[in-house]
Amino acid sequence: MDRIKHAFASKRNLLNTYFTAGYPSLHDTIPLAKALVEAGADILEIGMPFSDPLADGPVIQGSSSVALANGMNLPVLFEQLQGLRAAVPETPVLLMGYLNPVMQFGVEEFCRQAAAVGVDGLILPDLPLDEYEEFYQETFKKHGLKAVFLITPQTSEERIRRLDSLSEAFLYLVSGPGTTGGTTLPDAEAQEKYFERIAGLKLRNPRLIGFGIADKAGFDRACGHAEGAIIGSALIRALEDATDAPAEAARFVRGIKSA
């Protein structure tokens, strides 16, 4: 079953929750995944901690530093994810991270192990599009992994259409300039025009809006312009001092998805 396509076909106002593997504790990955889904998360985006996360703001950078210090790395993550599909059998799961660790691990082996544990797709913001087409696209496809690409307000129509043609998952709309978890609100009028411009392109892939969405009001606004939204930094922030991380994650999601 194509879990990503099924999620978009069967639900509206999807919530994609990002959390960093190995944070706040090394072995929280599967308990957090289970708690988030049981509370109402529709898609899981599991961050692979990296020492130089270019697209991530200070909150996610901080969680990556903690996770790395806890001992998280790709071999440990894949070992933990052996229990993924027992915990969340039907929920789409994406791995989000950066190209360098994947290349060090070996792209073919990385894709093989990701597919073996039930991962559905990959988000690698620093993967150049030309390199993806020339070197990695066939490997992703061979292992049934969907590539998710980011679009920003500065992305040209030509590139957007190219990204749309290459993706079999969804398009990640970055809500404004800056990194994840930014506190500076983008110009509301400019943002509205951006979302309207994307909608007017009649792209074939669904869209999720991310960056800067921190609460139910922001989630609801994003759902007015796309099929759903991605929340990461606000969830990580909620877990910082939690005595029971899965319970806190569940409480956070219920607050976002409440009627």
Mean pLDDT to the nearest integer, 213-233: 96
> Can you give the pLDDT at residue 51?
84
Residues 6+ apart with CB under 8 A from 55: 125, 126, 150, 179, 180
Statement: residue 53 has pLDDT above 80: no
Q: What is the tens place of the pLDDT at every residue in 109-165?
A: 999 999 999 999 999 999 999 999 999 999 999 999 999 999 999 999 999 999 999
CA distances for 37 relative to 11, 47, 102, 138, 251, angstroms: 14, 16, 26, 31, 12
User: What would the mean pLDDT of 21-26 be, rounded to a whole number?
Assistant: 98
* Poorest-pLDDT segment among 15-19, 54-58, 116-120, 233-237: 54-58
User: By C-alpha distance, which of 38, 125, 158 is closest to 89?
Assistant: 38
Burial class (CB in 10 A: 0-12, 13-18, 19+), 164: middle
For 21, list phi and psi in degrees, rounded to 5. Answer: -60, 135
- Give the sign of the dihedral formed by CA 134, CA 135, CA 140, CA 142: positive
Q: What is the pLDDT of residue 182?
A: 46
- 190 vs 20, residue with greater confidence: 20
Instruction: Using the predicted structure, report yes or no on whether residue 96 has a pLDDT greater than 80.
Output: yes
Report whether pLDDT(210) > 50: yes
Q: What was the pLDDT predicted at 55?
A: 59
Across residues 75-88, what is the average pLDDT?
A: 98
d(CA 159, CA 165): 10
Catalytic residue among 28, 45, 227, 248: 45
Backbone angles phi, psi at 98, to 5 degrees: -130, 155
For residues 82-101, average pLDDT: 97
Q: What is the mean pLDDT of the chain?
A: 93
Q: Output 105 or 53, whichever has higher pLDDT.
A: 105
56 an active-site residue? Answer: yes
Q: Which CATH architecture has domain 12-254?
A: Alpha-Beta Barrel (3.20)
pLDDT in tens, 176-204: 654 444 444 457 888 999 999 999 999 99
Catalytic option among 2, 28, 38, 56: 56
Catalytic residue status for 79: no
pLDDT confidence of 56, banded at 50, 70, 90? Answer: low
Per cent of the chain over pLDDT 90 is 88
